[in-house]
Structure 1
Amino acid sequence: MKDLKISGLNLDIAWLDKDQNFKNIEDSLRETSADILILPEMFATGFYMNPDKIADRNEETLHWMKKFAQEKNAVVTGSASICEDEKFLNRFYFVEPNGNYYFYDKRHLFSYSGEDKKYTAGNDKVIVNYKGWRILLQVCYDLRFPVYARNNGNYDAILYVANWPKSRIDAWQTLLKARAIENQAYVFGLNRIGIDGNRLEYPESSFCFFADGTDVSKTDNNIVSATFEVERLQEFRTKFPFLSDRDKFTLM
């Protein structure tokens, strides 16, 4: 287990244009070096509720992510609309440089936008082990459900990818910080920026919080970076062993 450098791209997503978004990401991250690169929720298209029009049917986004991960020698993460077995899923991919990948299908679908009418909810909680770090994968609206993200001593960090608009941005920042504190984990929340095809505005609002609630992220030219520090996290959990006093309920 070693320290991990994480970088996320505050991406102004080109509405419904996969090729343009792939190009914009490659250009934006050309000089960025990190262990893990994070992209927003539905980074290839924007958060669009007509999946029949945008969903990958031949793993187009995954193929691009594999290629980009190999080129950057880094994990590439982010979610995409996909069609599988005649169902639409909001799938968060975690793609390693060697081509191996994991995925998490968004559990909590955003009924306010009608996502629950168009997409199918995932059933599996996914924790990826990468270079000794145990990382929980989550998508946007999942953030509002702390029981689902409860740390049972089985993860060290959470990655959230989102399209979280300006009108509710205080909740986004507050809940990210709360998830870090209550779970004694690093929490990296990567949001998009700009204005989408529905005229919703997204301000720069990506953060990485340490387990005590401290914002440890830095932003430069739309790149948000932080380092997951092994010793710092271990020392904090040893000094304040709050997780050992957690309620012993289970979920799923």
Structure 2
Amino acid sequence: MENQELKIALVQTNLIWEHPTQNRIQLEEKMNAISETVDVIVLPEMFTSGFTMNPQAVAETMEGETITWIKTLAKTKNVAITGSLVISENGNHYNRLIFVLPSGEIESYDKRHTFTLAGEHEVYTAGTSKNIINYKGWNICPLICYDLRFPVWARNVENYDVLLYVANWPKPRINAWDALLKARAIENMSYCIGVNRVGLDANSHEYPGHCAAYDVLGEKVTNIAENKEETEIVTLTKSHIETYRNKLKFLNDKDAFILT
């Protein structure tokens, strides 16, 4: 069944360094505090650990404690929950976004653009494919942090409705985060949502949040305070997408890219 509206909760939160148990506890409290009925809850990148280059300390499997926990929450709350965490599989470590449905089904996406400035490419295996998730009749394209800088990878060749980024994006480059989220919405004529953490990590990197959602014209439709733990709910509408795509038809003129 196709929903004409999709309610998404953006969870702007601090993360406890390399401590999955404590992060699960505090995130469950935040999710329990959402009193309104929503369709999707979005957590930041590496929500069990912070952006660590020490995957051995926090890596789990797809049958591990965090996956079991989040599947239980999704079923109990009848909501989809998404965010990324460190997953170990076939001898490799991945920065993997999971999208857990109330049914227990799991969709996933492995971060394509590992952050070379921090050496992420040396300890994590890069993903090779996008995954367009259909949920309640909405096509959602989930990507992770550094992917935001690469518009060809995000190009809307799949006719998705929502472009979704989870991140640990630091304060010194937050202007780029703001500008690129807006640009991705405009150029792809889709909603674009970014969920970034707040707080200070063990490497003294500061994260200011700036969680936001933009509509297909690049108008910001959220108002989350920076540097603050806060959850905001945004309602997306199919009619908004259809109205402007039918009126402006910019996607009809897009270039064809062949990715290798």
- Gap regions ≥5 residues in structure 2: none
Task: State the distance in 2 between where 1:72 and 1:249 align.
Answer: 40
Task: State the distance in 2 between where 1:208 and 1:5 align.
Answer: 12
Give the counterpart letter for 2:78 in structure 1: N
Q: Any residues of structure 2 matched to 1:127-206 within 5 Å, and which? A: 127-206=132-211
Query: Does 2:35 match 1:4?
Result: no
Give the counterpart letter for 2:200 in structure 1: I
Task: State the distance in 2 between where 1:134 and 1:69 align.
Answer: 19
Give the counterpart letter for 1:88 in structure 2: H
Task: State the distance in 1 between where 2:213 and 2:9 align.
Answer: 10
Which of 221, 242, 246 does residue 254 from structure 2 map onto? 246
Task: List structure 1 segments (4+ residues) > 6 angstroms apart after TM superposition.
Answer: none
Task: State the distance in 2 between where 1:119 and 1:249 align.
Answer: 26
- CA displacement, residues 126-146 of structure 1 (integer Å, 9 cap, x when unaligned): 100011111101000000000
Task: State the distance in 1 between where 2:104 and 2:158 align.
Answer: 29
Which of 240, 243, 253 does residue 235 from structure 1 map onto? 243
Q: Using structure 1 for the length normalisation, give the TM-score.
A: 0.97
Aligned-pair CA distance for 1:218 = 3.6
Query: Does 2:60 match 1:56?
Result: yes
Task: State the distance in 2 between where 1:83 and 1:163 align.
Answer: 20
- CA displacement, residues 109-164 of structure 1 (integer Å, 9 cap, x when unaligned): 00000000000001111100011111101000000000000011521111100000
Task: State the distance in 2 between where 1:134 and 1:64 align.
Answer: 25
Aligned-pair CA distance for 1:217 = 1.5
Q: Using structure 2 for the length normalisation, give the TM-score.
A: 0.94
Aligned length: 252
Give the counterpart letter for 1:148 in structure 2: W
Percent sequence identity over matched residues? 45
- Gap regions ≥5 residues in structure 1: none
Give RMSD over aligned pairs: 1.2
Q: Which residue of 2 aligns with 1:36?
A: 40
Q: Which residue of 2 aligns with 1:20?
A: 22
- Which piece of structure 1 moves more, 55-64 or 35-44? 55-64
